[in-house]
Amino acid sequence: MEKLFIEETEDTPEIILDPEQNIFKISKISVPENALDFYKPVLDWLKDYAESPNVQTVFEFDLEYVNTASSKQVIQVILSLQKVAEKSDVKVRWYYESIDEDMKALGNRYKKLVSVPFELVEIE
Amino acid sequence: MTPELGSKLFDIAYPLFQRITNDDFEYVYRGYFTHNITKKILFLADTNIAKVTYQQSTLQKRIYYIMVEGLQNITRHQDEIANLTTEKYPGIFAIQKNGERYYISTGNIVANDKIPALQEKLDTINSLNQDELKKFHREMLTTGSMSDKGGAGLGLIEMSRKSGNKLLYSFERLDDEYTYFYLQTLIPTDSSFGAADATSKGHSSLDSVKQLHKQMNNENLLLYFNGFFNQENLLSLLAIIKGRMNMPLTTIKVSNVMVEMLQNIIKHGSKQNSSAGISGVFFMGQTGKEIMLTAGNIIKNEAKDVISERLEFVNGMSKDELSDYYDDILLDFDTADAKKTGLGFSDLRIKSDRPLKYRFMNINDDEQFYILQTAVTIKN
């Protein structure tokens, strides 16, 4: 399957979805005005990937800022992983800076709302 | 926390907003100037100037150059003075656009005994015409005798040369040791370049900056922005707040809250007044143990009920209820538009951990001035 790479901009994150390297990562900043359009290709890609995923899929979120518009799309991404989990061993890792209690709280919120294994990882 | 906390900030929001009109903007940073903050200020100012100067890249470069000199002037003076003193008397940097004119202003403390020499430099520069300045500049480069620290004199000459204008300055004595030194450069647009002079109009503009500085000192405002709220400015303001990393916990919290607050305005504001974004005012200041964030902008009358209804709804819930509600909206994919659900307000309230304060003011038959305020408790 073709990998999906979206370069970061000043208000949208870097996206790497690369089954060959087994890297699935959303990082940096996500505060676009129109989050719906931005995350559409990601959700479409995951829908295809769910058909024949890798044996293991570790999906990493390493985000510095997430605005509310993005937070609704990020949960869609995580829910799509539930579908992937039917054929793959899925783990979600949510990184947050130790001093950023809001990112920690958001991670905990997602963890509570989804059924895939969800790990919060504190970074310095 | 008393209910009055921050109410004075409500009172000043509209008068501040009214300071400028149309496509104009003003942006003031007050505090300590680090290299990082200087960089971010330049970026923010440049973004705003690019929006209104369109193809006039010469003008944009000229303004940028003068800003660099002005900011370096502040940090140079700042380096000569003990940190405790610069904390007690914070400096300011202001950029304003007023019609066809741009003003770059700086205010910072200098030791009283440095003033005569500084004044002499300024008067010398102001006495020279463009050709003489050019010659003078060359002389200074070769002899380098004007300033102990190498650049101060040259910077002033360059500001005058690039602006094609006299340098406006003013001294406000603070105590036996220190004085606020205000410096303002007027940069006319290309069409009037070289023709404008430091006139009485210029003086009133310098007075207005001094007045603003006084007000910001009184209310302990750290950042004041009056102009277009748009995504670019939001990102630049965010970068500036991030530059103040001496309180990392608070800084991150303030940034998180500010993103939601300003995006909320971008979504709700009345767009008709400018294509560059929503005209609004945003300021951040410290009141006791709280960092207060206040934003104001114009909305249509129709929007008032919707906004206040959502705010009351969000404010009326307990912490747990709010958290459950938040989960519900996150998972409600039928309402794709987050703006309709109050997700932004809920998020703001959760992050700032207090009810959101707001006020509406009738300003004409069709519109209201809408002020939203929240705060973050300083933690470290």
Phi, psi for A19 (deg, rounded to 5): -65, -35
B324: alpha, beta or left? (left if phi > 0; alpha if psi -120 to 50) = alpha
- pLDDT score for B1: 42
pLDDT tens track for A23-65: 999 999 999 988 999 999 999 999 999 999 999 999 999 999 9
Q: Does the CB of A108 have a partner CB in chain B at under 8 Å?
A: no
Residues of A in contact with B255 (CB under 8 A): 65
3-state DSSP assignment of residue B267: helix
Residue A13 belongs to domain spanning: 4-123
d(CA B292, CA B376): 7
Does the beta-carbon distance from B255 to A65 stay under 8 Å? yes
Whether residue A105 has pLDDT greater than 70: yes
Across the interface, which of A31, A99, A112 has its CB nearest the CB of B259? A31
All structural domains of chain B, each given as residue ranges with its CATH number in brackets, are: 1-21+226-380 (3.30.565.10), 32-219 (3.30.565)
How far, CA to CA in Å, does B347 sit from each of A66, B242, B339, B374?
Answer: 11, 20, 12, 12
Q: Does the CB of A40 have a partner CB in chain B at under 8 Å?
A: no
- Strand pairing report for B25-31 and B221-229: antiparallel
- Residue that the structure tokens 């690039």 belong to: B162
3-state DSSP assignment of residue B198: coil
d(CA B343, CA B328): 10
| Probe site for chain B from A11, A33, A68, A74 (most B CB atoms < 10 A) | A68
> Higher-confidence residue: B270 or B268?
B268
Q: Does the CB of A99 have a partner CB in chain B at under 8 Å?
A: yes
- pLDDT score for B196: 46
Q: Contact at 8 Å (CB) between B366 and B302? A: no
Q: Tell me, what CATH number does A94's domain have?
A: 3.30.750
pLDDT tens track for B125-139: 999 999 999 998 888
Does the beta-carbon distance from B260 to A68 stay under 8 Å? yes
Does the beta-carbon distance from A101 to B253 stay under 8 Å? yes
Beta-bridge partner residues of B180: B109, B172
CB atoms within 10 A of CB B34: 15
- pLDDT score for B245: 59
- Residue that the structure tokens 């190498």 belong to: B150
Residue of B nearest to A37 (CA): B336
Residues of B in contact with A113 (CB under 8 A): 327, 330-331
Does the beta-carbon distance from A102 to B343 stay under 8 Å? no
| Probe site for chain A from B246, B278, B319, B330 (most A CB atoms < 10 A) | B330
Does the beta-carbon distance from A10 to B235 stay under 8 Å? yes
| Number of domains present in the structure of chain A | 1
Given pLDDT bands bounded at 50, 70 and 90, which one contains residue B283?
very high
Quote the minimal CA–CA distance from A104 to chain B in Å.
12
Whether residue B28 has pLDDT greater than 70: yes
pLDDT tens track for B145-196: 555 444 448 889 999 999 989 999 999 999 999 999 999 999 887 555 544 4
**Which of B198-207, B276-285, B313-322, B355-364 is predicted least confidently?**
B198-207
Q: What would the mean pLDDT of B229-244 be, rounded to a whole number?
A: 82
Q: In what order do the strands lie in the sheet with B221-229?
A: B167-173, B178-188, B101-111, B91-98, B25-31, B221-229, B278-287, B290-300, B367-377, B357-362
- pLDDT score for B155: 87
> Higher-confidence residue: B58 or B30?
B30
